[in-house]
Chain A
Amino acid sequence: MTRQTRFAAEVFGPWAKGQSTAATIDIGTWLVVTLDGGRRLELPLASLKISRGGFDLLSVVLAGTATNGEALHVIVHDVSVLAALDQHGTHAMRAQAATVARSHSRGRIWRWVASPGAVLLFVALLAGAWLGLPLLVDVAVDRIPVSLEEELGAASVESIVAGQPVLEDGPVHAAVKTVFDRVVLGVGATPYTFHLTVVDTPTVNALAAPGGQVVVFTGLVFEVESAEELAGVLAHELRHVTARHGLRQLIRSGGVVLAIALCFGDVSGLAVLVKTLGDMSYSRDAEREADTGAVAILRRARVDPTRFREFFARMAKHGSSLPAILSTHPQGDERDASLRALTAGATSSDWDPITVDWAAVRALKAPR
């Protein structure tokens, strides 16, 4: 089958800023641009940079330098130009064309929002939404693929870390990683790949971001008295991840509009919110669920689950200088009692110690 090789295009060149010139392009070994008025420009196909652009990123942008030295931006509104580039281009260009084609199809998912049925549905949803926001959030959460959640998680970790020193190796990182890997064993079947980020700041905290991301601050590492205490905090955060608490909170903070947009598959709004994730705290229900889940994870990983409660109880006694971990994980008698109930009946034959000498780890704390 011979594919179409001639397309209508708009060309931006050095001759006019902002205003495009109509043109016809032919794709072969070269990209031949014939401007309205007859001027002909040629660009080697291999040097083209392909991207998306224009309204809703629905157009294809080919950027390159013509043989006469003029830098050109050729914009084609017909996406089948990608197929032509795929046929005539080099291997690298085919990869580029394929990537851009994929991103196009993602943009198209929510194009049907313009249909009349969707408009009515939107109005009906908006009316019912104030009453049923939690339900709507559930629906929206279910519609977000794990792959997107992972992208969001990576972006939010980036904004949480934001220039603070990150440990990627060394004894402290190794100790945390050992505990983390042990706890992950208890998570069981999950669609997530877990990522650990160790941030070297005195903050006594750990947090979870969507898509399997857990961030631990070294302040916490030096505060816990044993590997099991840290394991408890990590298990708690991992439960936030697998229950998608972060994502849920993110959507809730975006309100009804975002939730509805997500139900329709329009994910553009999430990216706007992602930077706020680091400042969020979870609801009491989510915290309770994370505690319950954490104890289950610890039991499956054969880690002593009682130490975790002791850590929080000890932190609560700090008095005036409450560490950050308590502001996001409110401690109360109720929580202490429920953790006590959850871990009741556990005996030392149910767990194996984590073989990290925590006193040695704590000795690595740099004087500040």
Chain B
Amino acid sequence: MRFEILYPGSYAMAKATLAQDEQFRAESGAMVAMTSTVDVEGKMEGGLWKALKRKAVGGESMFMQTLKATRGPGEVFIAPSTPGDLALLELNGANNYFLQKEGFLAAESGVTLETVSQGIFKGIMSGEGVFVQRVGGQGKLLVSSFGAIHKLALAPGENYVVDNGHLVAWSGTVTYEIKKASSGWLSSATSGEGFVCHLTGPGDVYFQTRNAASFGQWVASFIPAR
């Protein structure tokens, strides 16, 4: 099978080309259009408990959809629910990626997905949530962002700072720490403001050009209070 990203930019969509009997998984509700040779099946990935955990703590849907070309070769178009770009990541059996809770769009069937804790403090302060998703296994993975996606390739020991709420995906080999953005202690610890993610290579880091939470606040400012 093959993934192809169409219309890269704000309203990107992916096209999956399947041979007969090939299948892949996508976020529930991601399917936009498909050939009639493809069957969609809702599945609780990993059983009830794992699905519940994903829903409750990962912000992901409990169900994933499996799209299978049962009646001959087919095509499926998939897109995330928010405006933004897509990136294609490759898993070679040895590497892992970590995704922020809304990052997953679709993956080939050899890709494994699990929800892991990054610790309460880091979770709340990083803006990426207490739980993040770890993807491993083998195959291609599509991640979605809010806004465009920028990729940084970090050399061993190379440092970078990314504002919280902007991380989309990062290699499992990247170390990250939460630090205060400035030396002063101006903002309250519980608001999560004023914290940034310090990343240390080696590995790739994908970040998004817009922060969904900030955008939400901006939109909310136009909604008249009742």
Please list the residues of chain A having a beta carbon within 8 angstroms of any beta carbon in chain B: 8-10, 12, 17-23, 36, 53-57, 59, 61, 63, 71, 73, 75, 77, 110-111, 113-114, 116, 119, 122, 253-258, 260-261, 264, 266, 268-269, 272-273, 275-276, 279
- In the complex, residue of chain B having the shortest beta-carbon distance to the beta carbon of A255: B189
Known A-B contacts A12-B156, A56-B118, A119-B57; the reply to A36 vs B92 at CB < 8 A is yes
Instruction: Select which of B120, B173, B180, B200 is within 8 A of A122 by beta carbon.
Output: B120
Q: Mark B117-133, 1 if CB is under 8 A from A, else 0.
A: 11111101100001100
Known A-B contacts A272-B179, A276-B185; the reply to A53 vs B173 at CB < 8 A is yes
Can you add 19 more A-B contacts, CB < 8 Å, to A54-B172, A61-B173?
A10-B94, A17-B154, A17-B202, A20-B171, A20-B173, A21-B92, A22-B92, A22-B95, A36-B94, A53-B175, A55-B175, A59-B173, A111-B117, A116-B49, A122-B120, A256-B190, A261-B121, A264-B120, A273-B189
CB distance from B177 to the nearest CB of A (A): 8
- In the complex, residue of chain A having the shortest beta-carbon distance to the beta carbon of B158: A17
Q: At the interface, is chain B mostly helix, strand, loop or mixed?
A: mixed
- In the complex, residue of chain B having the shortest beta-carbon distance to the beta carbon of A269: B121
- In the complex, residue of chain B having the shortest beta-carbon distance to the beta carbon of A254: B189
Instruction: Select which of A17, A75, A111, A254 is within 8 A of B153 by beta carbon.
Output: A17
CB distance from B142 to the nearest CB of A (A): 17
A10, A264, A273 interface centre (most CB from chain B within 10 Å): A10
Please report the C-alpha to C-alpha distance between residue A22 and residue B92 in the assembled complex, in whole angstroms. Answer: 7
> How many interface residues does B have (CB within 8 Å)?
50
Instruction: Select which of B93, B120, B205 is within 8 A of A266 by beta carbon.
Output: B120
Please report the C-alpha to C-alpha distance between residue A23 and residue B173 in the assembled complex, in whole angstroms. Answer: 14
CB distance from B117 to the nearest CB of A (A): 3
CB distance from A223 to the nearest CB of B (A): 29
CB distance from B180 to the nearest CB of A (A): 6
Please report the C-alpha to C-alpha distance between residue A268 and residue B130 in the assembled complex, in whole angstroms. Answer: 14
Chain A residues near B121 (CB-CB < 8 A): 257-258, 261, 266, 268-269
Chain A residues near B156 (CB-CB < 8 A): 12, 63, 71, 73
B116 at the interface (CB under 8 A from A): yes
B98 at the interface (CB under 8 A from A): yes
Contact B189–A257 (Cβ < 8 Å): yes
Chain B residues near A257 (CB-CB < 8 A): 120-121, 124-125, 189-190
